[in-house]
Amino acid sequence: VQLQASGGGLVQVGGSLRLSCAASGLTLTTYTMGWFRQAPGKEREFVAAIRGGSHMTYYADSVKGRFTISRDNAKNTVNVQMNSLKPEDTAVYYCAALGGRPIMSTLKNGDSYEYWGQGTQVTVSS
C-alpha cells in the first residue's frame, strides 16, 4: 500500500491550496481516508476525513467552513481543498487510510490509521 500526498506549498494569508493523496494497493471506497497535520513543536492533529462507503465527511472545528475533503473514485485519490488559509494552518499535512467502519472518535484519532503518506508541507505567510 502506498499513499502519495502532494499539493503543498507556500501561500499568503487568505489564499488557497488543494492537497491530493493518491492511493495504490488499496481501494478508497473501502477505507476511511483522513488528513492530519503537524506543526513544529506541536502534536499531530486531525483535519478532515471521508468515509469509504459513503461521502460522509468530518472536519476539525478549526477548519470547518474553510476546508473541503472529497474523493475521486476513478482516480483513487482523496483531495482537500483549503481556502481562506491562515498562518496557523502552517504544518506538514499527511493523508492516512483506515479500514473497517470506524466510529467518529476512532476516525479522528491518528493512532487508529493503518497506512500513512509521506506528508506535504503547507506554509501560510502573513
Over 90: is that where the pLDDT of 5 sits? yes
pLDDT digits (tens, 9 = 90+) for 66-115: 999 999 999 999 999 999 999 999 999 999 999 988 999 999 999 999 99
pLDDT digits (tens, 9 = 90+) for 41-65: 999 999 999 998 888 999 999 999 9
- 109: exposed, middle or buried (Cβ count in 10 Å: 0-12, 13-18, 19+): middle
At CB < 8 A and 24+ separation, what contacts does 54-61 make?
A: 58/104, 58/107, 58/108, 60/108
Whole-number pLDDT of residue 53: 80
Whole-number pLDDT of residue 99: 92
Mean pLDDT, rounded, for 31-45:
97
Mean pLDDT, rounded, for 14-36:
95
Distance in angstroms (rounded) separating the CA atoms of residues 121 and 4: 13
Over 90: is that where the pLDDT of 121 sits? yes
